[in-house]
Amino acid sequence: GSGGAEGREIPSGEAEAEEFACPAHCTELSWRQNEQRRLGLFCDITLAFGGSAGPGSAPASAPAQPLREFRAHRSVLAAATEYFTPLLSGGFAESRSDRVELRKWSSEGGPDPETVEAVIGFMYTGAIRVSPGNVHEVLELADRFLLTRLKEFCGEFLKKKLNLSNCVAIHSLAHMYSLNQLALKAADMIRRNFYRVIQDEEFYTLPFHLIRDWLSDLEITVDSEEVLFETVLKWVQRNPDERERYFENLFKLLRLSQMKPTYLTRHVKSERLVSGNETCVKLVSEAVESHALRAENLHSGNLQHST
Amino acid sequence: GSGGAEGREIPSGEAEAEEFACPAHCTELSWRQNEQRRLGLFCDITLAFGGSAGPGSAPASAPAQPLREFRAHRSVLAAATEYFTPLLSGGFAESRSDRVELRKWSSEGGPDPETVEAVIGFMYTGAIRVSPGNVHEVLELADRFLLTRLKEFCGEFLKKKLNLSNCVAIHSLAHMYSLNQLALKAADMIRRNFYRVIQDEEFYTLPFHLIRDWLSDLEITVDSEEVLFETVLKWVQRNPDERERYFENLFKLLRLSQMKPTYLTRHVKSERLVSGNETCVKLVSEAVESHALRAENLHSGNLQHST
């Protein structure tokens, strides 16, 4: 060229390259691929969601649950989560067939189809509407599909919704899905309000290991130790066939020495689960004895003082 | 539940739903799909780029150019640009086959494979590196594939790189791809520096319609009208077979009355392209005549004044 600068820099090849990045393009791309999915365009895989007919259940006795099917793109699923990467590209049967069956969910018939649709939509677009009504299933799906960010969002969502009527359920969920911060916050609320929490039916749906943890917790607030005995009884009675075997373990956690002697002799000792268990009977006797000894000491002490 | 508020709001169902949007998810999705493309994972379409063997050229006489092939995902391409939507999902032959041939490019063998790779990458990720070396082909590809944002970026990029040695080429590009702002800015630079621009060989590669536009432009800056005559001559002589038929049209745009009589009679009149054209000869005669008449008026006027 004839050249000339006109007071500005002259281009000098690759040194003047520029990066152009357009995040809006990614977002639009995602939403359009999601739209294609809804229309069934270019889909190459079917996700089939259904009840818990795992390999363990006999196909003859348990009638096959109808599976809910969702068409999708392997490419998007594999890009959205590592859950699908090996499943779709590796040596699994699913990578050759065009169908993945997803069973074994917390609810009998598998997650609600609307929630599944929303979570698949999240895999495509990174956006989802979470409500108190769907957050449990969203969390279950997010956990299964390794959608870490969505799991964390559910944790934050539940943290904001935490109150006395749901803290037991939320603590249990948080435990199940390793949402540690949420678990800590829910546990703190439970501890500080234990006397109210145990009036709630939800508490009696907890598994043994959580009931054991709560009775071992030194910071739970209750009016009296007697209340805890009744709580243990009530928990066992909700499902005696399953839970009676845990009674001794839980009973050992009670601080019998803090119960009144009349309560021990009239209510605890006469309870069938106690009287039928050698260890429990012995613990009650020891508590009653220590009460008696303490009373005697106290009495003689008082006498000594008054002389 | 047993309820209780503890000084905070109580959840009330769907009213407390929350939107979760994670733009980083979209970006990551895009980059992972692009990575799949590079690895050939889940690809279901081939884009074949090649020379200009369009339907008009005889397959026997013109040897088939080797096509450069790029594997991709229909879903992404169709989501990235409307260019592919009908092509891949409609009734075209391409929507049934797994191959799209892309021919007819400005350069003989089609665009540089590295640039094609970069533009396909942009379709996937919304990101690209544009340099003075690839911007012309990026622009051509962006225009063909209806990537509006990328086209606009190229326009902005070229606007910043505009200088005297490239303004003619950039103006011509801007015209071709309807980058109006860029065209205006380049035109302005050309106008203000026309006397230098016409010393550049690039100017003589312009098509007739642009040369016509420039000669019609009232704001071009030149030292003399004579220079414009030489510019027209030079432009025609670069490709006489194609351009001689435009000579008369361009010659009519020259302001012969502003050329010196000696120049008109010695150089213009004797030029073969002028003397061989009746209209041109007539225009030169008229200009010489008007010069003579003016000189006479001027002379008599001077005489009148001096008496």
Q: Among B2-6, B115-119, B230-234, B303-307, whose mean pLDDT is lowest?
A: B2-6
Tens of pLDDT, residue by residue over A62-96, are 556 678 999 999 999 999 999 988 777 766 656 56
Tens of pLDDT, residue by residue over B207-244, are 999 999 999 998 898 889 999 999 999 999 999 999 99
CB contact under 8 A, B20 and A78: no
Architecture field, domain B223-299: Alpha Horseshoe (1.25)
- CB distance B7 to A169 below 8 Å: no
Does the pLDDT of residue A53 top 90, yes or no?
no
CB contact under 8 A, A3 and B165: yes
Give the pLDDT score at B10: 41
Start-to-end CA distance of chain B, whole Å, equals 122
Instruction: Given CATH 2.40.37.20, say whether it is the number of domain B24-52+66-161.
Output: no
| B20: nearest CB among A13, A24, A128 | A128
CB contact under 8 A, A164 and B22: no
For testing the chain B interface, which of A14, A28, A76 should be mutated: the one with the most B CBs within 10 Å?
A76
Quote the ipTM score.
Answer: 0.78
Tens of pLDDT, residue by residue over A161-180, are 999 999 999 999 999 999 99
Higher pLDDT, B98 or B71: B71
| B149: nearest CB among A18, A25, A75 | A25
CA distance A210 to chain B (A): 19
The pLDDT > 70 percentage for chain A reads 86
Architecture field, domain A223-302: Alpha Horseshoe (1.25)
| B26: nearest CB among A27, A133, A153 | A27
CA distance A25 to chain B (A): 5
Structure confidence at residue B112 as a pLDDT band (50, 70, 90): very high
Structure confidence at residue B92 as a pLDDT band (50, 70, 90): low
Rounded mean pLDDT, A11-24: 79
CATH ID of A26-51+66-161, from 3.40.50.970, 3.30.950.10, 3.30.710.10, 3.10.580.10: 3.30.710.10
Tens of pLDDT, residue by residue over B226-236, are 999 999 999 99
Measured between beta carbons, the chain A residues lying within 8 angstroms of B124 are 29
Rounded mean pLDDT, B181-199: 94
Structure confidence at residue A307 as a pLDDT band (50, 70, 90): very low
Rounded mean pLDDT, A188-204: 93
CA distance B129 to chain A (A): 4
Rounded mean pLDDT, A196-209: 93
Q: Work out the widest C-alpha separation in chain A, in whole angstroms.
A: 124
| B164: nearest CB among A6, A80, A189 | A6
Please give the mean pLDDT across all residues of chain A: 87
CB contact under 8 A, A149 and B8: no
Rounded mean pLDDT, B275-291: 94
Q: Among A7-16, A94-103, B28-37, B136-145, whose mean pLDDT is lowest?
A: A7-16
For testing the chain A interface, which of B34, B38, B76, B161 should be mutated: the one with the most A CBs within 10 Å?
B76
Nearest residue on chain B to A127, judged by CA atoms?
B21
Give the pLDDT score at A58: 45
CB contact under 8 A, A165 and B19: no
Give the pLDDT score at A109: 86
Give the pLDDT score at B2: 40
Measured between beta carbons, the chain A residues lying within 8 angstroms of B162 are 8
Residues in CB range of B290: below 8 A, 6 or more apart: B257
Structure confidence at residue A300 as a pLDDT band (50, 70, 90): confident
Ordered by start, the domain boundaries in chain A are 26-51+66-161, 223-302
CB contact under 8 A, B89 and A41: yes
Give the pLDDT score at A2: 39
Nearest residue on chain B to A90, judged by CA atoms?
B41
CB contact under 8 A, A129 and B16: no
Nearest one of A129, A173, A176 to A150, comparing CA atoms: A129
- Helix then strand then coil, % of chain B, to nearest 5: 60, 5, 35
